[in-house]
Amino acid sequence: MKKSIVFFMLVVHVLVFSQKKSKTLVTINNSKITVADFKKVYEKNLDAIDNEESKNIHYNLDLFINYSLKVKEAYQLKLDTLPSYIKEIETYRNQLSAPYLQDKSFTDKLIKEAYFRTKNEIKAKHILIRTKKNATPEDTLAAYNKILNIRNRILAGEDFEKVAVAVSEDASARDNPQRNFKGNQGNLGYFSAFKMVYPFEVAAYKTPVGEISMPFKTRFGYHIVKVDQIRISKGEVEVAHLLITDLTPTGKTKIEQVYAKLVAGKSFDSLVKAYSNDNSSKDKGGKLAKFGTGRMVPPFEEAAFSLQSVGDFSKPFKTRFGWHILRLLKKHPLKSFDEMKATITASLKRSGRMKLSDDAVLNKLKKNYQIIEHEKAKELFNRKDIRKISKDSLQNILFSINERAFTQADFVSFIANKKQQPIGILFENYKNQQIVKYFKENLVNTVPEYATLLKEYEDGLLLFELMQQKIWNTSSKDTLGLKQFFRDNKKNYAAQELTEIKGQVINDYQNFLEQNWIADLRKKNKIKINKKQLKKLIKFYEKKE
């Protein structure tokens, strides 16, 4: 709560980017505050001021000077060197710089792409040849050649589904009698955006209907995909279901008996409560969360979307989970782009696709920066004992970003505990991290708005720490001082005992301590106000009213 007060009630600070020709309004020791500095702060807070007294220029200038004195004191006490401060401001720096690390045009393209793929569902089948996480180049090539030969077999006339059952390394393609599972023969049913890993989604939507893609790679391995159909999305649907898990003829007889009672007019809710084996939904009348295509097994999905009117119920049907009857509760048609934009953006972030925007920014930075790699220094990568070499022997420059150089020692420190990836990949990761870090550190020099906002956070955090030390901790620990303050000001309180109004007294005591502290700060700092400029400023705002 106190930290919020610092940020939102006292958002005043000496701005970094003042107008060069602006006249000096206040001088604190050797630091000058211009008229433009004050006007920016004053006008920024005008919307939050709800009474005329608080709009007074003299009043606001006093607040401005007091804030500046406190921040100056915080820096003099070196509070900016506290580990807690350094850690917290780094968190804020990352948050504030995040929007600048996104390529807006690229992100907009991803959002529109995702909406198109949400609106248009695709039906496809695939074959997978797996690769290990740390596959060697030889293993990767072997997997690629294997899937390419499979594709050629299908192009030569073999049936895709039969080949999938025979060779696909996706276990769902084949029957599993032990688990009472019927294989899908490579068929994935209908799916849309965010239902598959992104490389698979991209390959599927780029493959024309009826054709087979070239092999493509995901984290699972190499795939080929055949697109059977594309259609406009049916949106989402809400249903309630009644489940009989017995897959034997006895279960079939039971579901038919329940269905007969439903047709005769028996309440669906009462039948669910009496007969359903789905304990997670039976107390809710069998109600399930809304879902779209690709979320349920195909027979369940087909039955749900075939229901036309609210209250309609399906005939009994079978899935691998048992026998079902569905009742339609609500249909949710697909929303417009504007209605779905926020939801799609959130899905992009959760799916990790925003990294594609990060990559787009990184590629732009690589083009804009002068990045020089020193091949001679990179010969170090061939040494198996790279992590054990003395740092004294690692002083050669490995690469540079503009004027900043990175040595072999910097890189070896980075890879000290990273032994699962090849050195070449680790080097690219390290270089990319340093490019982004260089960009973030230079934002204060290239984006004035960012520099101003970061300065607010830096000063605000310092002021919070300073107030904690000087005022809040003192008022809570100095019980003798608090009691004396209460006795000295007892006439101002209706209560006779401190314990009755302790919270109010503590608040007043904090204000008392702060006023005395500010008075001390004003005494030990030389403050000079340019009265001529102050008069001009007052007249300027009087004319605006």
Cβ-based neighbours of 88, under 8 Å, separated by 6 or more:
461
Cα–Cα distance for residue pair 198/351, rounded to 1 Å: 9
- What's the mean pLDDT in 280-288? 95
**Could you report the per-residue pLDDT of 365-389, keeping only the tens digit for each?**
999 999 999 999 999 999 999 999 9
For the chain, how are helix, strand and coil distributed in percent, rounded to 5? 60, 15, 25
Q: Give strand pairing partners of 331.
A: 237
83-98 pLDDT per residue, tens: 999 999 999 999 999 8
Residue with the two structure tokens 């009742």:
327
| Closest residue by Cα to residue 525 from 24, 191, 27, 9 | 27
Q: Is 83 helix (H, G, I), strand (E, B) or coil?
A: helix
Q: Is the predicted pLDDT of residue 360 greater than 50, yes or no?
A: yes
- Amino acid 420: pLDDT: 80
Q: Report the distance separating Cα 109 and Cα 357, nearest Å.
A: 10
What's the pLDDT band for 250 if we cut at 50, 70, 90?
very high
Instruction: Enumerate the H helices of 191-336 as residue ranges.
Output: 198-206, 249-263, 268-275, 298-306
Distances (CA, A) of 455 to 17, 92, 96, 452, 460: 11, 11, 11, 5, 8
Express each pLDDT in 317-334 by its tens digit. Answer: 999 899 999 999 999 999
Prediction pTM value: 0.62
Q: Which residue ranges make up each domain of the chain?
A: 2-76+446-544, 117-232, 236-332, 369-441
Q: Which amino acid is at 87?
A: K
d(CA 498, CA 509): 12
Indicate if 236-332 has the same CATH topology as 117-232: yes
**Tens of pLDDT along 465-482?**
999 988 988 888 888 998
Write down the pLDDT at residue 325.
98
Which residue has 């069998």 as its token pair? 286
Q: Which residues pair with 128 in a beta bridge?
A: 223
Rounded Cα–Cα distance for residues 326 and 310 (Å): 11
State in words which class domain 236-332 has: alpha beta
Please name the fold of domain 117-232: Chitinase A; domain 3 (3.10.50)
| Local structure of 317: helix, strand or coil | strand
Residue written as tokens 């955090």?
A: 461
C-alpha span between 540 and 35 (Å, rounded): 12
Residue in the block written with tokens 């809304």: 290
> In this structure, which CATH number among 1.20.1070, 1.10.4030, 3.40.720, 1.10.10 belongs to the domain 2-76+446-544?
1.10.4030
Percent of the chain with pLDDT strictly greater than 90: 72
- The secondary element (H helix, E strand) that includes residue 515 is helix 502-524
Collapsed DSSP state (helix, strand, coil) of residue 189: strand
